[in-house]
Amino acid sequence: MAHRAATTACPLSAALAETRALVDSALDRLTQLSDGCPPRLAEAIRYCLLAPGKRLRPTLVLWSAEACGCHAEAAMPAACAVEMVHTYSLVHDDLPAMDDDDLRRGRPTCHKVFGEANAILVGDALLALAFETLARGIRPAETAVACMAALAEAAGATALVGGQADDLAAAAESNGERLDVAALESIHRRKTGAMFVVSMRLGSLVARAGPAQCNALEEYGRKLGLAFQIADDLLDVQGDEAAAGKRVDKDSGHGKLTFPRLLGVEESRRRAERLIDEACGELAPFGAAAERLEALARFVLERNR
Ligand code: GRG
């Protein structure tokens, strides 16, 4: 990927499509699994990972590296590793023991096509492959280690897994009714936000950015992650299933507490807009190098899937 792309005025949709294509072909290469992988498992891994996701998190990895003056190519293994962890989390979240979904990325969910045991194994394999991809693909080795530590923390019990556990517990105990905004934000900071923050972190680690740049990009990721979740909740209330490629109006049906349920649709939207403005404010020191990150943040509120 040419470095010039970071600073050339380019409509966001074209830039997103170009980046998505690069990520998709890297994911395709990384999942040409060798003989030891049973064909049905390989098929299931590729069915999930190569499904038409938006590739937002890998895009954040690549564009944050570019914002710090690094060629995106160097960050591609990190971008793919984040997408592998994200996809594993979706596959496991869709299982009957968790959110029990039958539609994802516009297709039947993994367990519907390949069975529950294979869906569990797909998640396990993707999680392992993420760390193998970082270990083999990121140079120098000390940067690979720093990326692995950061991704492990974001995927682990104090972040993604912990947020998911609290979300499931809240839904099971009391339909989430005892949650307030702070508790809801705490769940989503871990369940959704941590993967946005670590995407920014991996990009800046690969670019060997200084602490001020790293902090600003992580803060952007924190605010964007929360705004993304609010937008996701709004899509669940107002969205269109065909466009979203997943069930909508599911959370309210399950009595799950969401931002619109707690704050109302208008206040939720205002809160998300405020967060996006603040996220974009973090990009000011990067100037034109972060133009695409700014456009991406604005897109998160307008998306319909
Ligand atoms: C199983 C440990 C574990 C965690 C699951 C990802 C997740 C945590 C739950 C999915 C349910 C959900 C609605 C999460 C919040 C928002 C979110 C992560 C939406 C999916 O991300 P997109 O819209 O999906 O970027 P694509 O398919 O485009 O990659």
Q: Would you state the pLDDT for residue 294?
A: 97
Q: How far is CA 275 from CA 206, 297, 301, in A?
A: 26, 10, 10
Q: How far apart are CA 116 and CA 90, in angstroms?
A: 13
What percent of the chain shows pLDDT beyond 70? 90
Question: Region 122-143: what's the mean pLDDT?
Answer: 98
Looking at every residue in the chain, the average pLDDT score rounds to 92
Which residues pair with residue 104 across a beta bridge?
107
Q: How far apart are CA 87 and CA 102, in angstroms?
A: 15
**What's the pTM?**
0.93
Which of 80, 82, 90 has most ligand 1 atoms within 8 Å of its beta carbon, as the pocket-test mutant?
Answer: 90
> What b/e sequence results for 4-24 when a residue is b if at least 16 CB atoms lie within 10 Å of its CB, and e otherwise?
ebbeeebeeeebbeebbebbb
Q: What is the pLDDT of residues 35-74, one digit of tens each?
A: 899 999 999 999 999 999 999 999 999 999 999 999 999 9
The token duo for 272 is 């998300």
Q: What is the pLDDT of residues 213-248, one digit of tens each?
A: 999 999 999 999 999 999 999 998 886 666 666 666
C-beta of residue 163 within 8 angstroms of C-beta of residue 157 = no
Q: How far apart are CA 249 and CA 238, in angstroms?
A: 8
Write out the H or E segment, with its range, that includes residue 103: strand 103-104
For residues 251 and 194, the model is more confident at: 194
Q: Would you state the pLDDT for residue 305?
A: 74
Q: Is the CB of 56 under 6 A from ligand 1?
A: yes
Q: Is the pLDDT of residue 7 over 50?
A: no
Q: How many CA atoms lie within 13 A of 98 on its CB side?
A: 20
Q: Is the CB of 159 under 6 A from ligand 1?
A: no
Closest atom of ligand 1 to CA, residue 188: 15
Question: Region 104-111: what's the mean pLDDT?
Answer: 97
Under the banding of pLDDT at 50, 70 and 90, the label for residue 257 is confident
Pairing relation of β-strands 107-108 and 103-104?
antiparallel
Under the banding of pLDDT at 50, 70 and 90, the label for residue 6 is very low
Under the banding of pLDDT at 50, 70 and 90, the label for residue 90 is very high
Residue with tokens 């962890």: 85
C-beta of residue 296 within 8 angstroms of C-beta of residue 59 = yes
For residues 302 and 212, the model is more confident at: 212
Write out the H or E segment, with its range, that includes residue 107: strand 107-108
Q: What is the number of residues in the chain?
A: 305
Closest atom of ligand 1 to CA, residue 86: 6
Residue with the smallest CA separation from ligand 1 atom 3 is 89
